[in-house]
Amino acid sequence: QKEVEQNSGPLSVPEGAIASLNCTYSDRGSQSFFWYRQYSGKSPELIMSIYSNGDKEDGRFTAQLNKASQYVSLLIRDSQPSDSATYLCAVKRGAGSYQLTFGKGTKLSVIP
């Protein structure tokens, strides 16, 4: 069973702080990793993708990947109340695979 695990939260951080969201996966053949943000009642929105070990930065978001530890994380700097949402980690196997496996999501609450 290929699994993606996330802490369900809620994770509460004060406005302006760094929010750290974590995800572990069980399938060592996984090659593509994605973070989606989902506001309550809305559909998921892709915010970051990462494919190789290390860090990838995009504005206030940084994705970190460690394939040896089977671990991917998302850092949100200068957290804003508008960042309050559920963050879904998604993992995909290599070429020829179309299936994304999702974690259950971490609910983030940014306190003004």
Partner 1 sequence: DGGITQSPKYLFRKEGQNVTLSCEQNLNHDAMYWYRQDPGQGLRLIYYSQIVNDFQKGDIAEGYSVSREKKESFPLTVTSAQKNPTAFYLCASSIGYFNSYVEAFFGQGTRLTVV
Q: Which residues bind partner 1 (CB under 8 A)?
A: 4, 8, 31-32, 34, 36, 42-46, 49, 51, 88, 90, 92-100, 102-105
Q: Toward partner 1, which CB reaches closer, 1 or 112?
A: 1
Structure tokens at 67: 């394939």
CB of 112 to partner 1, least distance (A): 25
Q: Toward partner 1, which CB reaches closer, 57 or 78?
A: 57
Amino acid at residue number 7: N
CB of 108 to partner 1, least distance (A): 15
Q: 14-52 as b/e, with b when 16 or more CB fall inside 10 Å?
A: eeeeebebbbbbebeebeebbbbbeeeeeebeebbebee
